[in-house]
Chain A
């Protein structure tokens, strides 16, 4: 059971940071909606505040790690240009996708959208977290700010979801592979 270095880093980018961020978005929406609504039966405690602060800081880290590893580690491998005359494009995902009318859309629409829309997620969640850090429990007294924070977390989720969907589909049609090989486990002989 082997995995390439590029495959492992792509998995960490997509599943470690991206997918975990998507899951975390739902938790933030529920928590903000449940505890910080002006109509909430039980007002948030200092412990709730501290928890959500740490949670949102974690989300900021996940979102920025996802886009930065995507843009500066995975994307250069994705867009690498093969030497002239290269017949096997397996190590050059962008060129592999562009080589067939059946797959070119995954690059020209999928990757082109993903590489830009993904950045809206960390911007939006950083804003949402900053507003929460500033106001905390006082958000109950600022329903407009609370609605804005919730809206931005939701849009951040949508942006990350678009990027995640196309990331998964791109990796399905033209996986980023290469580099060294890591032996994970030895299977049983048949």
Chain B
């Protein structure tokens, strides 16, 4: 989502919606990362071994830790860029919900196994 095209100047009559939009899009990206990293770790043995952060839990520990790290990092970056802007929240929300929907589907094993 290009912040410049999606944003307008801040309207002082209403609080900026940029912080909310940043949180929404970051959550969509973080959710998708859970699915993408799980598929990637399942596909490549080298990555699977790298994702073992805590042996008793196996690769799930690294997959989820990395996804959470990406989510928080994206949240911080987007918050810094959008916090004073009024952005096109409908577009941001639609994108985030698509990412969240994809992550629901891509974590479903019969679909994940297609890759």
> Which A positions have Cβ atoms within 8 angstroms of B?
67, 71-72, 75-76, 79, 108-109, 112-113, 115-117, 119-120, 123-124, 126-127, 130-131, 134-135, 138, 141-142, 144-145, 147-148, 151-152, 155, 158-159
Contact = CB atoms under 8 A, between A and B. Distances in A.
Contact of B15 (A115, A123, A138, A144): A138
Contacts of B64: 67, 71, 116, 119
A159 B30 contact: no
B51 interface: no
A126 B21 CA distance: 14
Interface in B1-48: 14-15, 17, 19-21, 23-24, 26-27, 30-31, 34-35, 38
Nearest to B27: A127
Interface of B: 14-15, 17, 19-21, 23-24, 26-27, 30-31, 34-35, 38, 54, 56-58, 60-61, 63-64, 67-68, 71, 89-90, 93, 96-97, 100-101, 103-104, 107-110, 112
Contact of B60 (A115, A134, A145): A115
Instruction: Give 5 nearest A-B pairs by CB, closest first.
Output: A76-B56, A127-B27, A144-B89, A116-B107, A148-B93
Nearest to A129: B23
A145 B86 CA distance: 12
A119 B57 CA distance: 15
B15 A131 contact: no
A110 to B, nearest CB: 9
B109 A124 contact: no
A120 B93 contact: no
Contact of A126 (B27, B35, B57, B93): B27
B15 A113 contact: no
B20 A119 contact: no
Contacts of B60: 71, 75, 115-116
Interface centre among A67, A79, A120, by most chain B C-beta atoms within 10 angstroms, is A120
